[in-house]
Amino acid sequence: MSATPLLRVTGLRKFFPVRGGLFGRKVADVQAVDGISFEVARGETLGIVGESGCGKSTTARLLVRLVEPDEGEIIFDGLGLGDGMTLSELRRQAQMVFQDSYASLNPRLAVGDSIAFGPRVHGMKASEARALAQELLRKVGLDPALFAGRYPHELSGGQRQRVNIARALALSPRLVILDEAVSALDKSVEAQVLNLLGDLKAELGLTYVFISHDLDVVRFMSDRVMVMYLGKVVEIGDVESIYADPRHPYTAALLSAMPSADPDRRTEEAPLAGDPPNPIDPPPGCRFHTRCPFAQDPCRRAEPGLNPAGDRRQVACHMNDPASGHSRAGRQGEAA
Site for another protein, rule CB under 8 A? 61, 64-66, 87-88, 91-92, 95-96, 98-100, 103-110, 114, 117-118, 121-122, 145-146, 149-151, 153-154, 164, 167, 170-171
Rank residues 15 and 288 by Cβ distance to another protein and give the closer one.
Answer: 15
Rank residues 172 and 260 by Cβ distance to another protein and give the closer one.
Answer: 172
What is the DSSP code (8-state) at residue 107? T
Rank residues 149 and 205 by Cβ distance to another protein and give the closer one.
Answer: 149
Q: Could you tell me the smallest distance in angstroms from the CB atom of residue 146 to another protein?
A: 5
Give the span between the Cα atoms of 207 and 8, in whole angstroms: 13
CB atoms within 10 A of CB 106: 13
Q: Could you tell me the smallest distance in angstroms from the CB atom of residue 122 to another protein?
A: 6
Give the span between the Cα atoms of 196 and 120, in whole angstroms: 25
Rank residues 19 and 312 by Cβ distance to another protein and give the closer one.
Answer: 19
Strand partners, 253: none
Rank residues 31 and 99 by Cβ distance to another protein and give the closer one.
Answer: 99
Q: Could you tell me the smallest distance in angstroms from the CB atom of residue 35 to another protein?
A: 24
Across the chain, the runs of DSSP E, i.e. the strands, are: 7-20, 25-40, 45-49, 71-76, 79-81, 84-85, 94-97, 175-179, 207-211, 224-229, 232-238, 307-308, 314-315
Q: Could you tell me the smallest distance in angstroms from the CB atom of residue 170 to another protein?
A: 8
Beta carbons within 8 Å of 31's beta carbon, 6+ residues apart: 15, 230, 231, 279, 280, 282
Rank residues 87 and 204 by Cβ distance to another protein and give the closer one.
Answer: 87
Q: Could you tell me the smallest distance in angstroms from the CB atom of residue 260 to another protein?
A: 33
Q: Are 68 and 16 in contact (CB under 8 A)?
A: no
Widest CA span of the chain, in angstroms?
Answer: 68
- 190 sits in which H/E element: helix 187-204
Rank residues 171 and 336 by Cβ distance to another protein and give the closer one.
Answer: 171
User: What Å distances lie between residue 205 and 75, 137, 181, 201, 240, CA to CA?
Assistant: 19, 18, 19, 5, 22
